[in-house]
Amino acid sequence: MKKVTIIIVAGGSASGKTTVAQTIANEIFMNKPVTHLSMDSYYKDFSDLTFEEKQLVNFDHPSSLDIELLCQHLDDLKEFKAIETPVYDFKTHSQSGETIKVEPSNVVILDGILALHIEEIRKRGDIKIFIRTDDDIRFIRRLMRDVNERGRKLEDITNQYLNTVRPMYKFFVEPSIDHADLIIPYYEGNNIAIDLVAAKISSLLKK
């Protein structure tokens, strides 16, 4: 059985955790056995709700996630088995019904805002990282992303941020920093932080 190392990258919404994870998995180790998973793929299917009802769902609360499926997939990857990752449609707030096959690899990078808060996920991580980014920067990034990539309205984005995103960050996400092995202050161009994580992964791959 090959050794599989699971690296967890947590942080607030739009903190840069996905960028860090993707950069490491797809650029620095493009030709090496590294897999990237996002917890955003594991939202529960809310297709039975109207669009107005979906907008009231607290997507920053652990109850919005299919934790059981994610943990099963992490266990499968740990045993070097391929998985079928669900594809979530952020424009409709529901699962698309499609999946993407993910092959096992020596290193799995999982990113998610609640990745260090949820014990079942946290205990499966070998290296735990928290991305710390100023609140105003995160809000601006989230605003631009949701408008440009997900077709959201400014009023809806602002209301969601004030009603769920910000309070859930304070209640769930920010305290989970205590579980991190490494805390990274992230901002555009902070390649040193990514290089440090990449160097650690390189040492794991050489063993």
CATH number, domain of 57, equals 3.40.50.300
- Select, from the ranges 17-26, 62-71, 180-189, the one with the highest average predicted confidence (pLDDT): 62-71
Please tell me the total count of domains within the chain: 1
Residue 49 lies in a domain: yes
Residue 12 lies in a domain: yes
**What pLDDT band is residue 205 in, cutting at 50, 70 and 90?**
low
- Select, from the ranges 16-25, 46-55, 109-118, the one with the highest average predicted confidence (pLDDT): 109-118
89 or 115: which leads in pLDDT? 115
Beta strands 94-102 and 83-89 are antiparallel
Residue 207 lies in a domain: no
Residue 167 lies in a domain: yes
**Short-list 181, 187, 185, CA closest to 6:** 181
CB 17 within 8 A of CB 138: no
Half-sphere exposure of 156 (CA within 13 A, CB side): 15
Q: Calculate the CA 162 to chain-centre distance.
A: 21
Residue 91 lies in a domain: yes
70 or 185: which leads in pLDDT? 70
108: phi then psi, degrees, rounded to nearest 5: -115, 125
Query: Could you tell me the residue range of the domain that residue 88 belongs to?
Result: 5-201
Q: What is the C-alpha separation between 50 and 155, in angstroms, rounded?
A: 19
Torsion region of 73: left, alpha or beta (phi above 0 gives left; psi -120 to 50 gives alpha): alpha
CA dihedral of 117, 14, 134, 56, whole degrees rounded to 10: -70
Express each pLDDT in 158-171 by its tens digit: 888 888 889 999 99
Residue 188 lies in a domain: yes
Residue 176 lies in a domain: yes
CB 19 within 8 A of CB 137: no
- Select, from the ranges 78-87, 133-142, 149-158, the one with the highest average predicted confidence (pLDDT): 78-87
Residue 189 lies in a domain: yes
Q: What is the C-alpha separation between 180 and 60, in angstroms, rounded?
A: 19
Q: Residues 23-27: what's their mean pLDDT?
A: 75
